[in-house]
Structure 1
Amino acid sequence: MNFYVIFALIFCGGVQAYDRTRCWTSGNNKPAQWWSQGEVITRGKYYYECRMGQLEPLGCLSPQDQQVPIGNTFRQDDYEFICRLGSDGYLEFGYNACVGSDGRTYQKGETWTDAKNMYYYRCRDDGRVVKAIIEGCIAHDKQKRVPLGESDDYQGYTYKCQQKSTGIVQMCSVGCVHEGRRYSVGEQYRDGDYVFYCKIKAGKCSKQCIGCVVEGKNVFDGQRFKRDGTTYQCEIRPSAHRIRAVGCAITENGRDINKVIGCRWYENNYDWKIEKTCEASGTDSAQVKVVGCIYKYKGFDRIFLEPGKYTIWNLPKSKESVGLSCRKTADSAEMTIFDVSKLEQNTSGLQYDMPRGK
């Protein structure tokens, strides 16, 4: 063996012994080179240590280039990531948990509410990642949780947990509740003597009175009906609703007609007539009242008498007198015209009144 061969073997053997403790690689923004034992080399988002000629994985770099050892976590974009070795032995980032607005971490399957307690999230496992998903709303009592698409009743109204096109999730007013039953917008229901329907305006439901219930039938605003001799009207106003007595229901000349409260009319005979009026009786009814009897003389109204009274009237331009009386009947009154010589038998139980013109 000559000198050059011996020198080459010694030189190469020395290099091989030396290289076993160093690492040949690029890193730290430098091209490939030799790295000494124990040096830390950063490659992309991971960092290693040179150990016995091999790159030993140590950890990952956070978005802020902070070192995160294997098994440790860091946060980014409302998620917690873990630095780990994959099944292939290489470093990788893994989704570990969700981070709520309160700064707490939530593991897969856990839930939490937003800062205003309006809706709630769930941290869901989605294959290799986890996702913070809005799962439902917080009910108006601020206790109950209502999943998306489901409804809850609160203080007489129904609210549904919905996600709008803008992405906002909230409890939306969708109906009314009466005596435990739900009514959709536009549906009608009865409450005692009144008819209501479920109305929505500016995104909020309300209960709007639209009519009255009379003998099992719906009567709407402005419509009238008769009951026990009284004409009633269903009145619906923005601030109140009521069934109001507006007149007297009578039969006149074979026809059913209404006489409004306050009006006066006459029932005529040949030489006398009865004056009547419709007046309110209390707050919820009306009745016909006989105002009095009117004596007609030669085609003109001359003497007026209240029911229960009589009078003696001297005929104009004559020495003769006539007796007049006005008596109540079962549903009206009648006038009697009599000879003054028969005064006693025609005025029994009546009170005298001075003759009054009409």
Structure 2
Amino acid sequence: LMCALDKNNILYFKYVGCIVNGTVYYSRDTWADRSFWYICKPLGETLVMEVGGCVYHDQRYQLGEEFPKGDFFFQCYRKANGATAIRPVACIHKGQRYSIGDTFEEDKFWYACTIEAGRAVKKCVGCMHDHQRLMDGDRYFVDNAIYQCTVRKDHSNHQLVGCVQKDQNRVIERRLGCQWIDGVPPHRFLRKCSQNDDNVLLQTISCFYQVGEGSYSISPGCFRIIGDKGIACVSRNGEPAIEEFPSNDLYKAYYKGVRPC
């Protein structure tokens, strides 16, 4: 306060500055602490100390102004109760700005810029395949392999889950480890969907001879006598195959290198 004369030469106390921790700041002066900056502002015939904005890394920002902080943009704003604070308003990814609610793509996954527990996060939402966005649980085919988009809190993946079985005009999905009977009677085979590194392997496990009401499983390298025939499960080009011979001509079976089951 300063003792001054008004226009009528009457003494009065005039407000000339704001005092903060023993320091005087005159009208329109500003100062800052670690989080905010302030102004000594005229209000009628008095002075008030008012928050002018926010401070980050010694840089002052006005109310409503945005600034980068790590992988996100924050905004200096005034709450409904009059308090000043900062809030996340956007994500930064590879130099691009994405507002809260925006989505973006990268390599094998796509993400959303969102708020969780009051914090901005770049959250994986789903997978990318052939320029298409997939959600958690969606599947797609690559040759004979089936992949599933798997999104978890700490890890997302294009998970190998099965094989594609093509049966005439049908496409049948088989899970890893699944076994099934395939082929046209009487020569049928037991197939298995297996994993081979990062791909699938459609294996033929054994031969399966089906005639009339009877069905017979024959392991590779052996033969069985069924009626008047010998049915052998031999290896042909590295895969089990069925060969028949007369039941009274067993030397042909031994010649093929198979044994009785």
| TM-score, L = length of structure 2 | 0.86
- Cα offset for 1:160? 0.9
Instruction: Give the structure, 1 or 2, with the largest relative contact order (CA under 8 Å, sep 6 or more).
Output: 2
Alignment correspondent of 1:184: 99
Alignment correspondent of 1:286: 200
Structure 2 gaps, min length 5? none
**2:23 corresponds to which of 99, 104, 116:** 104
Alignment correspondent of 1:136: 53
Alignment correspondent of 1:322: 230
- Cα offset for 1:259? 0.9
CA deviation string 1:186-233 (max 9, x = no partner)? 211123211111222343222221100111110001111111221111
1:175 to 2:90 alignment: yes
Alignment of 1:5-44 (within 5 A): none
More strand by share: 2
- Cα distance between partner residues in 2 of 1:171 and 1:312: 79
- Cα distance between partner residues in 1 of 2:236 and 2:22: 91
- Cα offset for 1:88? 4.4
- Cα distance between partner residues in 2 of 1:123 and 1:162: 19
Alignment correspondent of 2:241: 334
Contact 1:304 1:355 in 2 (8 A): no
Q: How many residues align?
A: 259
- Cα distance between partner residues in 1 of 2:45 and 2:30: 20
Most deviating of 161-170 and 187-196: 187-196
- Cα offset for 1:92? 2.6
- Cα distance between partner residues in 2 of 1:194 and 1:312: 51
Contact 2:218 2:233 in 1 (8 A): no
Contact 1:325 1:346 in 2 (8 A): no
Amino acid at match of 1:98: C
Alignment correspondent of 1:354: 259
Structure 1 gaps, min length 5? 1-80
Alignment correspondent of 1:256: 171
Contact 1:108 1:130 in 2 (8 A): yes
Amino acid at match of 1:335: I
- Cα distance between partner residues in 2 of 1:143 and 1:217: 44
Alignment correspondent of 1:146: 61
CA deviation string 1:80-128 (max 9, x = no partner)? x22223454332322212222x3311233432124xx221102245675
CA deviation string 1:275-308 (max 9, x = no partner)? 11111222x33221111222346642335132xx
- Cα offset for 1:159? 1.3
With over 3 angstroms needed to count, the CA separation of the structure-2 counterparts of 1:191 and 1:159, relative to structure 1, is same
Alignment correspondent of 1:166: 81
Larger radius of gyration: 1
| TM-score, L = length of structure 1 | 0.64
Alignment of 1:170-319 (within 5 A): 170-282=85-197, 284-296=198-210, 299-306=213-220, 309=221, 311-315=222-226
Contact 1:312 1:321 in 2 (8 A): no
- Cα distance between partner residues in 2 of 1:120 and 1:200: 27
More helix by share: 1
Amino acid at match of 2:230: V
